[in-house]
Chain A
């Protein structure tokens, strides 16, 4: 690995590929000299009860800043569920009034959950990734050309374009020998997400840990965030590298009792597989699973039974999930895939 300065950052360039004429890539990285030391994961969640998304964003960012303490911030992943571009813009502006804009990545979701509870409308959740033991390289691919294509009429085109987008995204990520986890947030509603993951795997390999979720697909709400800017028909990937390990699990269900049971099973499996001291958990969950619950809190309670109630938990409700696909009838040799009705857990341990 090349030696790098404490705060290394770059803005990349646009590239063109034949499959999608205007496919473009942007990059940003935050890395440490040797990515040695602690990894710090902190999560905050704020519900806007005053119809003031900017204030909610600012409040969340200030809370995160306090919680990160002295740990150098490498990236912030945002999950927000405000309605319409106008309010989303205000929220992001509020977040970026406190946090460095170039570190803010993420997407519009259907809500979030943490150890504090579950939210849906008018809420924002921030995951702060920091510490000297972690480096982050982030890339954005735009103009994937698939957001308005329907599976029934354009499956082959979707496959080709998302394979290309996935490859470009993975190729653009800064690679090190300490790469541990790729987090993807994309406008690639399940089942399209499988093709994006396959494209990334063509570069990263089938056994590289990839997790993530797909942005809210409600009309007019579909945005991914990169360096504090809103993008449509796009995907963002963060490559986390450093002195830590990850353990992934995925479970699928679409009925109340099974949603609750699989949440517990998946969380327990990821925690059991984790080597070292667990630092935090990412849970990319399906909004459809949530809709099958009689009470949203029941699924979270099941996760907490397995994870405990102290481990930082960043959860969001998505339109498609990325991680180990739970499909015994169509098993894959790839560690991760894209699907729906899943909760995808990643335990980060050191």
Chain B
């Protein structure tokens, strides 16, 4: 089990210092910087506000169209997943709990990993218990946990018997009792895993039926991420429900639609200082507007100073033509089909069955929902917002707050069968 220090107060101070230090790096004359990257910013209306307005005015949430072979049940469950994904820590709770995504489907016996964070100033000791869906068997089902002040630890419960569900969403509950207090967290957990497959990156999505899609709803719109791997490539299909697809350069005033993906090795952490080094590979995928044309930009690589990603660099020199991209549109969905060669990732993430790593996805939908952050649906908490986790780029429209960290659990598996 791994542990790390996570003191929100220290982080907040550090972030304030970093913002001050970063200010001279920006060229404000042309840059469209997010307000959270600027000193003295005030909240402005963001995508979530717009969505709330829309729900209130219409009287009911927007209807979801099913275009990627997902049922209405899935949409409702995914919405629940997103809602339950909010970190429940309150001032009175001594610790915070969160489940990581499964690395393989439950039938293939993953571990249910609970991240326990002691946000208090003193040591914490308690007994952690996990309640799994009916028919599952965990071993053990409870464990003692001792944490120092500010310490975070991953506690694994082996799934001895698990039942895979087609909707890929599982309600688990963790509770920890210590010092006379019990903290409980219920969370919809998905299996975030890439089966082995060699898809054609051609703008057709019929290759993706053997993937294990993760779905979440943000601003009333569905996003579905499917992944595959093979010895040569890591591939993604990001299906974005949106009213229209804005290719790069189509509407400079509003920015363009895009998918931003960060991939990091297991055990990597995101720094909190601009001088820290990036641990991620970060990609931006956009539509070119010509047929199913798409373009990939490599925004960050391990070793880059995190502050570099906060500059508004021209995208041209960051073009990464070794990646394959096709962007298509069908039935109210935009499909970003992408393949990243392991020759780039391979010295950090070995392409092999069962390999665990970290991945997250931001969807940019500037004329719709704004930013959609997989980190929210995966259960990351607000203390994990870190502007250094994602690179800025010209044309992006950011929300009121920085996105969540770019590291959620993901796995390479053999097959869903």
Contact = CB atoms under 8 A, between A and B. Distances in A.
Contacts of B94: none
B109 interface: yes
Contacts of B197: 218-219
Nearest to A253: B158
Nearest to B168: A152
A2 interface: no
Contact of A216 (B110, B160, B198, B414): B414
Nearest to A216: B414
B198 A220 contact: yes
A180 interface: no
A229 B168 CA distance: 37
Interface of A: 83, 110, 120-121, 147-153, 189-191, 216-221, 254-255, 287-292, 319, 327-330, 339-341
Contacts of A218: 195-197, 230, 353, 414-415
Interface of B: 104-105, 107-111, 137, 139, 156, 158, 160-161, 163-166, 195-198, 210, 230-231, 352-356, 412, 414-417
B166 A329 contact: no
A329 B160 contact: yes
B94 to A, nearest CB: 27
A83 B415 contact: no
Contacts of A339: 109
Nearest to B353: A287
12 contacts: A121-B231, A147-B417, A151-B163, A191-B109, A216-B414, A218-B353, A219-B210, A254-B110, A288-B353, A291-B412, A319-B353, A327-B160
Nearest to B210: A219
B109 A219 contact: no
A152 B165 contact: yes
Nearest to B107: A151
B354 A290 contact: yes
Nearest to A340: B109
B109 A341 contact: yes
B166 A254 contact: no
Contacts of A255: 111, 156
Q: Residue among A254, A319, A327 with the most chain B CB within 10 A?
A: A254
A219 B355 contact: no
Contact of A148 (B108, B355, B417): B417
Contacts of A153: 166
Q: Residue among A120, A288, A290, A339 with the most chain B CB within 10 A?
A: A288
A104 to B, nearest CB: 24
Contacts of A189: 414-415, 417
B363 to A, nearest CB: 27
Nearest to A339: B109
A191 B163 CA distance: 11
Contacts of A219: 195-198, 210, 415
Nearest to A296: B352
A287 B413 CA distance: 10
A327 B160 CA distance: 8
Contacts of B355: 291
